[in-house]
Amino acid sequence: MTRIAVLASGGGSNLKAILEYLVSLGPAAPGQVVLIASERRQSGAIAKGLANAIDTVVLGDATDPNSHELEALLAAYKIDLVVLAGYLRLVPAAVVDRYTDRIVNIHPSLLPAFGGPGMYGSRVHQAVIDAHETISGATVHLVSREYDRGLILAQWPVPVLRTDSAAALAERILTVEHALYPRIVAALAAGRRDRFPLKPAPAYFANPPISAAAIAGQIDALLAN
Ligand code: GRF
């Protein structure tokens, strides 16, 4: 069983989706979230960890890139896979190097567009709208020493509507994130990397299925074949 740590700074909706998806797999689940860490005691992620009886840790010095706190924590919990779910701090280089190809992140745009330092939350979506893009989306990628620059594992497009606010676009993309990220995390936990990079068939976007269930079905089919 792959031991997973989730790092999150915010509301934790992706964490919730991952926990629910792994539970839905029952005994077939290839991994288990055994640790949730955040630099913010008030984050929704910490609350979700406590509610689910998962060990939670509030990081004391997450702003220090030379800190060994996270490295020691991951070692103590014998973590195999690190999942960033809205984690706003740069992962220390020592951790990136130790967990090569075993740290994954999700970003709410089609990277490399609208990524990098300072591009998080509504800033990403507002920049997409200001640039008059018609397509944005979600990207799952491995974590390297630079923000949002690691190998892309999956990308899923989402239409940008002319009337969109940043909040409306964020919500549409989050629906995709909640279908996409748990499935990619489970595939990584199972050691299945043969399907990456994962992209919807070109026909997908011509007639986008908009329900979360339809998106999940497409992703399941792509991962199964
Ligand atoms: C998501 O949009 C994710 O792509 C980005 O941060 C946000 C986290 O949202 N990295 P939540 O805390 O999972 O609700």
pLDDT confidence of 209, banded at 50, 70, 90? low
Residue-wise over 140-163: b if at least 16 C-beta within 10 A, else e?
A: bbbbbeebbebebbbbbbbebeee
Ligand 1 atom 14: the closest Cα is on which residue?
13
How does residue 204 score in pLDDT terms, banded at 50, 70 and 90?
low
79 by DSSP, 3-state: which? coil
CATH class for the region spanning 2-117+137-157+177-199: alpha beta
Query: Measuring from atom 5 of ligand 1, which residue has the nearest CA?
Result: 86
In ligand 1, which atom is closest to the CA atom of 107? 4
**Residue 107 is a catalytic residue:** yes
| Confidence (pLDDT) at 63 | 87
Mean pLDDT, to the nearest integer, of 153-167?
95
Task: Give pLDDT, residue 169.
Answer: 96
pLDDT at 211 over 90: no
Q: How far is the CA of 223 from the centre of ligand 1 (A)?
A: 23
Q: Per-residue confidence at 28, pLDDT binned at 50, 70, 90?
A: very high
* pLDDT-derived band at 207, boundaries 50, 70, 90: low
Catalytic residue chosen out of the listed positions 107, 125, 141, 178: 107
Q: Quote the ligand 1 centre to 18 CA distance (angstroms).
A: 12
Indicate if the pLDDT at residue 23 is higher than 80.
yes
Q: Amino acid identity, residue 176?
A: V
Report the residue among 39, 177, 184 best suited for mutation to probe ligand 1: largest number of ligand atoms under 8 A from its CB.
Answer: 177
Pocket of ligand 1 (CB under 6 A): 8, 10-14, 85-86, 106-108, 174, 177
Atom of ligand 1 nearest to the CA of 174: 2
The answer, yes or no, to whether residue 19 has pLDDT greater than 90, is yes
Q: Output the residue whose Cα is nearest ligand 1's atom 6.
A: 86
What integer pLDDT is reported at residue 123 of this predicted model? 98
d(CA 53, CA 36): 10
CA dist., res. 114 & res. 145, Å (int): 18
Q: 167 with 11: CB under 8 angstroms?
A: no
pLDDT at 210: 65
Q: How confident is the model at residue 2 (pLDDT cuts 50, 70, 90)?
A: very high
Token code pair at residue 192? 């299945």
Say what the pLDDT of residue 174 is.
Answer: 96
Query: What's the gap in Å between 190 CA and the centre of ligand 1?
Result: 23
pLDDT of residue 64: 87
Q: Identify the pLDDT of residue 72.
A: 97
Residue 224 has pLDDT above 60, yes or no: yes
pLDDT, mean over the chain: 93
Average pLDDT (39-62) is 95
Return the pLDDT at 205: 62
The domains of the chain are located at 2-117+137-157+177-199
- Ligand 1 centroid–CA 86 distance in Å is 4
pLDDT at residue 206, as a whole number: 52
Structure tokens at 67: 């800190």
CA of 89 relative to ligand 1 center, distance in Å:
13
